[in-house]
Amino acid sequence: MRVAWFPMASGVFLNGLRLRLSCSGCRKPPESMLPFLRGAIPYGRHIINAISPSTLQHQLCLQTQWFSMRYANSNASNGNSFTVSYLIDTCGFSPQEAEAASKRVSFETREKPDLVIKFLKSHGFSRLQILHFIKSVPEFLRFDPEKTFMPKIEFFKSRGVSSSHIPRLVCNCPNIMRRSLSNHLIPSFDFLRDLLGSDEKLVKALQYCSAILVDSKASVLHKIELLREARVPQSNIIKFLQFYSRSLAYSTGRFKKIVEEVKELGFDPWTFQFLMAVHVSLSSKESARAKKVYVYKKWGWSDNDILAAFRRLPICMTLSEDQIDAKLEFLVHKLGCNPSMICTYPNVLGYSLKKRIVPRGAVLQVLLSKGLLKSETLLAKFALTEKDFLRRVVLCHVQEEASELMELYLTKLDQAR
């Protein structure tokens, strides 16, 4: 049987004694071709096959499928390469990030991703916000922004979210753009609005955490019910939803566990400190809190001191170790405060070191050195409003002395800017 110039997939031809396999990256035929080659008996310019025509046809079909698969894989590889390059060059991904993202989204031209990026820029998204948005959900680069993103942005604007706050709201929880507007976002917005009492209060809550729109109605209601069971007043629950909405984004199981732990620490559910402690405990890991406990102990605080400070001001456990060190360093070594006394006035740790503690501390140092201030009242002066501090601490002295104190105070404030 003579087979002359019989075409097979992707350039496989038989011509006399010659068998040519033209496939990129292929140096040996697939296993499916081996029986055919073993059955080919060369004789001059002819090939005599020891297999039937039907078997030959079957082998050629297998070969066609194999080369088709190689061709498809080659195209996919090219698409993946383009995607990686685009993510690096246009979006600012690192090579590792681009490689990982290309497993979730792939495109061979820049038409669709360019439309998405152009849309985001036109709505005030910064380069960093666009990077965060795409990193969170790389698949967004294949979306039609006018059909998918625009209706949701228009909805938020209609409910009181300003154009300048849209990028922050969206980047706070990019998955918002994957949710159905009519089936999820609008019902969630209306439900939360009814809880808070107005669109304005909800819009403010969304600035802290827009992820609450993604959570289910049942999940939010369950967490609110847990607070009610703990005897938290409704007025405090509303404040909690408004200012600490991020806490509602955690799982119901974790939320319940933290509420129980805060109760065991002796917090009074009728005080807002109870909800502050719930928020702080939810948003920080135990390992991170342990590091801060270590720093406080380094400055002489006992376990009871730390617990007392936490009960008075839960956010004292949100400070970084460096912030704790710097503030206690100034208060103890510059002003001579007793470390154990500071835990009874933990509010001072919540103030800015540069903008409040150092400027006021400079004035208080002068007054202490002149015997015009008692050390036991020193820490309370940091809690005064700006107007009261000037009136009761600076301007209450004779004119010359008051002028010197005011100049010192203003100098320190200028240095903080």
What are the sequence ranges of the domains in the chain?
A: 4-78, 110-208, 215-283, 285-348, 351-417
Answer yes or no: are the C-beta atoms of 226 and 255 closer than 8 Å. yes
Chain-centre distance of CA 125, in angstroms?
16
pLDDT tens series, the chain, 417 aa? 433 332 333 333 333 333 333 344 444 444 444 443 344 444 444 444 445 555 555 555 555 444 444 434 444 444 478 999 999 999 999 999 999 999 999 988 999 999 999 999 999 999 999 999 999 999 999 999 999 999 999 999 999 999 999 999 999 999 999 999 999 999 999 999 998 889 999 998 898 888 889 887 888 999 999 999 999 999 999 999 988 988 988 999 999 999 999 999 999 999 999 999 999 999 988 899 999 999 999 999 999 999 999 999 999 999 999 999 999 999 999 999 988 889 889 999 999 999 999 999 999 999 999 998 888 889 999 999 999 999 999 999 888 889 999 999 999 999 988
Nearest partner of 247 among 263, 198, 256, judged by Cα: 256
Cα-only R_g, the chain: 35
Neighbours of 85 (CB within 10 A): 14
Q: What length is written for the chain? A: 417
The pairing of strands 18-20 and 4-8 is unpaired
What residues does 40 pair with on adjacent strands? 49
Asked if residue 113 lies in contact with residue 107, where contact means CB atoms within 8 angstroms, the answer is yes
d(CA 20, CA 12): 6
Q: pTM for the complete prediction? A: 0.69
